[in-house]
Copies of this chain bind each other. A is one copy, B any other.
Amino acid sequence: MAGRGSLGEFELIARYLAPLAADAPGAFGLEDDAAVIAAPADSDLVVTTDAMVEGIHFLKTDGAGRIARKLLRVNLSDLAAKGAEPIGYQLVLGLPAPVDEAWLADFAAGLAQDQQEFAFPLYGGDTIRSPSGLMLAVTAFGHVQKGGVLQRSGGQAGDDLYVTGTIGDAALGLEVKLKRRPVPAAAAAAFDARLHLPTPRLAVGRALRGTAHAAMDVSDGLVQDAGHIASASGLRVVIDASLVPFSDAARPLVAQDTGLLDVMLGGGDDYELLFSASPRNAASIRQIAMATGVAITRIGRLEAGSGVLVETADGRPITVGRAGFQHFGGGGACGE
């Protein structure tokens, strides 16, 4: 673990972070400036980085434990989209001075909880002072059999397009959080849980190796992310809006107000897998859904062309999901 300065930092690392590295054999108890990762033979190492900033990606009042778990889960979701097995992570922890030790203890407890759940230990990182608020970044490591990584660019014309789980709950959670929309309390709680505690689809991603052509996780909104598969694969993605799966909590709301489609297909933070596969693999996809217990729904197709076309069940083009994902801070030119 890097980190400079006063004794206070080293005490802090020792007290709250070193226990998180106990299961990482190459972390040297965070007493070194670097860690060693021994990936299995004949594997490729997958790396991904996601950062979160207070006031933009989260509010301090979201709860330290939930912030910690979301930080790990958004990175694990990227590993899932590659078909990778988690190895561990490096943490950049930017803290305002003076350090809120109770917050830090809760944050470390949240990390510990999800490290345990996903077998994903801390290897190292850096602690810094962040004058304007909490600044968090994780670089996650996973491994995948050599040459087996899933990519956004593997789509083929004629592929079916699939998505795991349900879409739009997190976007509705943000609507509720920003007090833009009143919803029943039970639904609000469900949406809030989806917003703050995504479920990385690791088992599905693993099972899709060799079956999916293009794959990614939905973090910026279904339509925008489908556009990434389209451009990386050099194809057009067609989404049948009537096939997009919504949760039991969301379905009655959409029935009342179809304007919600824009929020749900355009909002972010779903952390579901979006992937394409040949129609002749439809039975394999169903088996993967059964084996993992995760719903997988065909929502469209890939064809020659470019961009994303969203259409109704009877093939009329509609315009939804163009709002894109907006964090608390609004959209800056450098993106959040």
Contacts and interface: CB of A to CB of B under 8 A. Distances in A.
A36 to B, nearest CB: 5
A46 B53 contact: no
5 contacts: A37-B45, A38-B44, A41-B41, A55-B131, A128-B334
Nearest to A152: B32
A40 to B, nearest CB: 11
B2 A48 contact: yes
Interface string A122-158: 0111111111110101010100101001011100000
A8 interface: yes
Interface stretch (A91-99, A171-179, A183-191, A291-299): A91-99
Nearest to A84: B34
B130 A12 contact: no
Contacts of A50: 2, 126
Given A5-B335, A98-B332, A90 B34 contact: no
A56 interface: yes
Contacts of A333: 6, 8-9, 12, 97-99
Contacts of A47: 34-37, 90, 123-124, 139, 141
Contacts of A216: 32-33
Interface string A101-133: 000000000000000000000011111111111
Interface string A24-64: 00101001111111110100111111111101110000000
